[in-house]
A and B are shown apart, each in its own frame.
Chain A
Amino acid sequence: MGGRQWGEAIAGYVFLLPYLVLLAVFVGWPIGYALWLSFHSYDLFSAPRWVGIENYRFLLNEPDFRIALRNTTLYTLVVVSCQTALALFLAVLMDRRIRGKDLFRVTLFLPSVTSSVAISLIFLFIFFKNGVLNQLLAILHLDRLLAWLGLSVPVDWLGDVHTALGAIMAQNVWSTAGFFMVVFLAGLQDIPEALYEAARLDGAGTWAQFRHVTLPLLKPTTFYVATVGLIGCFQVFDQVFIMTSGGPLKSTLTIAYLLYQEAFMNFNMGYACAIAFVLATLIFGCTMLQRRLLGD
């Protein structure tokens, strides 16, 4: 590199400096400190005590962590697949020339700009035993179907071990599908009309066009939607915190909620940091796996 190039490089870093400092202070340092803490026993009041990998070993044998891991994995699998499919379906619908398209788009997008706490509070009223959902089901005579499935009718959706996690899943699919629909819409509008024309000339029907033109060309968008959805799902917290506090009987205990409990209720900061790193590793691993499966 010549002197001039060096000068440019230095100038570049000087311009980057404010951001790099912020990044180091507010992102880099906390992450490093959390990693350091995860090898300590620390309750915020006495000095951190080195315990080696004890926190991680404890975590692997801890029934609560296993429950949280199982709940979170199940939650992520169901929510990511449902919300991606629903978002794609809605996007394809909204991409057509239908009446009141803009109204639908806005309505479907609204939940994603609403506070998740506010949404959760409203869903409490929908899900509780004398709530809107049960009244609707009774009007539609679907309560008999639920009774046949072995649930006690009217169902206490958030109070029943069998339905609480499902109820939170449904709420999350509803509230995020609209945002991902907009992402898919952008992806759909990037697909050149000429490809569809060519496909039609070759005699492709609607389904064949969707299958062989739309889906493959949406692959990068789908990857984005699935990845962002996966990260969000693994970190699910607000809904659990507001609606069930991990109950009943830990059926909605998620990793992020367990982390919060250990950090801010029991003040096991070291152990909570260990949970955070396991969660981060999990998210990283799943994202890489997804990249293998969906990416190029």
Chain B
Amino acid sequence: MVGWVRACGVLAAVIGLALASGCREARRDGKIALRLSGYAGNPAETDLMRELVDDFNASQAQISARYEPVPGQYYPKLLTMLASRTAPDVFYLDILYFQPFIAKRSILLPLDDFLATSSTKASDFIPSLIGAFSDKGKVYGIPKDFNTFGLYYNRESFDRAGLSYPSDQWDLFRFRDVAERLTRNTGPAPRHGFALTPETADRFLPVAAMFGARLYAPDGSCAIASPAGVKAMEYYASLRGSGAAIFPSEVGSSWAGDAFGREQAAMVFEGSWLTPYLAESFPRLGYGISQLPRGPAGRSNFLFTVAYVIPQSARHPEASWKLIEYLTSASAQERITFALPSRKAVSARFVSKHPQYRPILDAAAYAEPYAFGPQGNRVNDRLGLAVQEVLLGVKSPQQALAEAAAAIDRINRL
């Protein structure tokens, strides 16, 4: 009998210890412990985030935040953590995933109450960015920075071919013509005018809009297979058909930016995330940035942005908000080097300090949010498949787009 009592005592002690250590998780050194998570972007971003979080911790007596970047599969991990109630207190949310998060799930905490009482105001930020994280009049995320596509070009390739550098007035046909001439005229490297990104629709959709095609009709059905969409796809495939454009994998690169850095392609459509990559891996490359060429129906671009959000399950929403305020403050945004700051005033100063980014900022005036509805990530994947089918020559533009439109309508009805 005594043995039983003793055994029960030991068991109780073990359970008590387990519970106590569980509680310790929430408080570290008597401070409120916060976890901040995002995908591990470029090294410049990861380094800055570490510094910012350290500085935040030094400025706070009651809060201790920890930065936990996720390499690789960020959203599967994030959603699994959210479902198992182990989500970080503050995390990155990509514009593409905002509507899917809002649509089905009561995941995100509205930030309006915080905004009403703190010195951070929604009006300090570029309106389209705040708008991208708003739903039914409520703000759910504070954008950290943003990007659009620019036309990156290799100066030396142009000089060698005796061509003038791209200007903001170029149209798509001039662009194709130059891409072909760069392909023929240059020596061993760079050998090609342009590097396509074959497995996604990210670069195709702006081209489609330049031809006047819309992804969705006003009634919400997918309209990408319109005559304008087919024309745009024919144009996009013609870059490949003329031999001017390569796939990154063909030259042993994992993405177009790398093919550009290795001078295998003289032009690419990339956001300013390419700049820190080039600075680190190809410091001697001479390049410039201009806006994307315009099409028969005008200009188009994508607005990429990521916000800090707080899940409804957060245990210390006020402390989490303080962290967001710090990370999106003007002084923190002054330190960004890999994207454009989301605050109006800071981004204006940023561009006067780094004038090469002006085309990226200018495009924000007409760029459309990189978001495709409540099933946006699946719609995006399906469009990518259509682009791949055409570029690999498996299906005609008409057939691939018609099938994609039907599939997207099906996805959106789910």
Contact = CB atoms under 8 A, between A and B. Distances in A.
A128 interface: yes
A248 B76 contact: no
Nearest to B73: A264
Nearest to A158: B249
Contacts of A129: 249-252
B94 to A, nearest CB: 14
Interface residues of A, dominant DSSP: loop
Contacts of B79: 44, 264, 267
Contact of B392 (A43, A128, A131, A249): A249
A159 B378 contact: no
B249 A128 contact: yes
B73 to A, nearest CB: 8
A29 B11 CA distance: 25
A249 B82 contact: no
A46 interface: yes
Contacts of B40: none
Given A45-B83, A128-B249, A266 B378 contact: yes
Contacts of B251: 129-130
Interface residues of A, number: 20
B105 to A, nearest CB: 4
A249 B395 CA distance: 11
Contacts of B122: none
A264 B377 CA distance: 13
Given A247-B388, A249-B389, A46 B394 contact: no
A45 B100 CA distance: 12
Contacts of B247: 159
A77 to B, nearest CB: 24
Given A130-B252, A247-B199, A248-B388, A43 B104 contact: yes
B164 interface: no
Interface string B117-128: 000000000000
Interface string A158-170: 1101000000000
Given A156-B249, A159-B247, A45 B106 contact: yes
Interface string A35-47: 0000000011110
A53 to B, nearest CB: 17
Which size bracket describes the interface of B in this complex? 20 to 34
A265 interface: yes
Interface in B341-393: 377-378, 385, 388-389, 392
Contacts of A248: 199, 388, 392
A266 B247 CA distance: 28
Interface string B185-210: 00000000000000100000000000
Contacts of A131: 252
Contacts of B82: 44-45
B52 interface: no
B75 interface: yes
Interface in A262-276: 264-267
A137 B288 CA distance: 40
A7 to B, nearest CB: 21
Contacts of B76: 264-265
A268 B385 CA distance: 20
B107 interface: yes
A267 B80 CA distance: 9
Contacts of A247: 199, 388
Interface in A140-172: 156, 158-159, 161
Interface of B: 73, 75-76, 79-80, 82-83, 104-107, 199, 247, 249-252, 377-378, 385, 388-389, 392, 394
Given A44-B83, A130-B251, A265-B377, 19 more contacts: A44-B80, A44-B82, A45-B82, A45-B83, A45-B106, A129-B250, A129-B251, A130-B252, A156-B249, A156-B250, A158-B249, A247-B199, A247-B388, A249-B392, A249-B394, A264-B76, A265-B75, A266-B377, A267-B79
Name the 4 nearest CB pairs between A and B, nearest first. A44-B83, A45-B105, A264-B76, A130-B252
